[in-house]
Amino acid sequence: MIILITGGTGFIGRELCRALRKEGHNLTVLSRQPAKVPALCGEGVVAISNLDELTSEDRFDAVINLAGEPIFGPRWTAQRKQVLWGSRVSLTEGLVAYIGAAKHKPSVLISGSAIGYYGDRGDAIIDESVGCGRDFGASLCSAWERAAQAAEQHGVRVCLLRTGLVIGRNGGFLQRMLPPFRLGLGGRIGDGRQWMSWVHIADHVAMTLMLLGSPQLSGPFNVTAPSPVTNLEFTQSLARILKRPAILPVPAVFLRLALGEMAGLLLSSQRVMSSRIRAANFKFAFGVLGDALRDVLSD
């Protein structure tokens, strides 16, 4: 297949590009730093820096949209929220406009989203039938998804990846947690009761490949392992594998003072089930947290 990818140089995108190249697909990657694309995504990958470099004559069999500024970063000021919105919603709107103008329409658009779509749900079990939350993260994901779903009016199948916390090497949330935990300075966040719905990056890539090749599948899919854990369970498991104590909790009040509204990313609770992809007989390589962490942390 000939595939256009946005966000191909990111943490998930790099792994996906390697897997797609291994399967023999031809890739074009949209990146703000096109010179880095060959090293990060593989030799032979075409790099562009703007959608304007494409014409209506260019042919793509599929489009995978993973672009977006990191959600965890600078405080969520009004200006930062505009950056997050533009890098997701506005970019996706531009992508769908390009699809609409293309003479050869792709058969599928696989577009990013996140389990932040659901907002803070406490201990409730969540599947894809649950509605949108009300905080900024939920509103951002909802608008992102609506922008992607507009491609359906052009006859394009749309799959939405509501991604959980991705566990992998050399990136993602785990890399921010490791330094204090390796020093024995880790611990639960807040009361530790909030649910963390995670997925190994290999399973994320495998799900995306499955959706790419399954014309009968469309709509939202929770990209999470079948065994969510509480934050306390996660920190205990990580500390046990690292053979370090985890006895220094981070108070919720401190996070709210330090991070403001963004603290919700660490304190909110989403107990998510990947019901739709499992109903399609997807098999997880890493369904248990300990196995996923040991794989990523092994030398």
Per-residue pLDDT tens digits for 36-57: 999 999 989 999 999 999 999 9
How many domains does the structure of the chain reveal?
1
The C-alpha torsion from 18 through 24 and 25 to 27, rounded to 10°, is 50
Q: Domain range spanning residue 77?
A: 2-297
CATH number at residue 199: 3.40.50.720
Determine the Cα–Cα distance for residues 284 and 275; give it in Å rounded to an integer: 13
Which of 198, 207, 174 has its CA nearest to residue 19? 207
Determine the Cα–Cα distance for residues 206 and 212; give it in Å rounded to an integer: 10
pTM above 0.85, yes or no: yes
- For residue 196, the SS3 value is strand
Query: Would you say 17 and 29 are in contact if contact means Cβ atoms under 8 Å apart?
Result: yes
pLDDT in tens, 232-288: 999 999 999 999 999 999 999 999 999 999 999 999 999 999 999 999 999 999 999
Q: What is the mean pLDDT of the chain?
A: 96
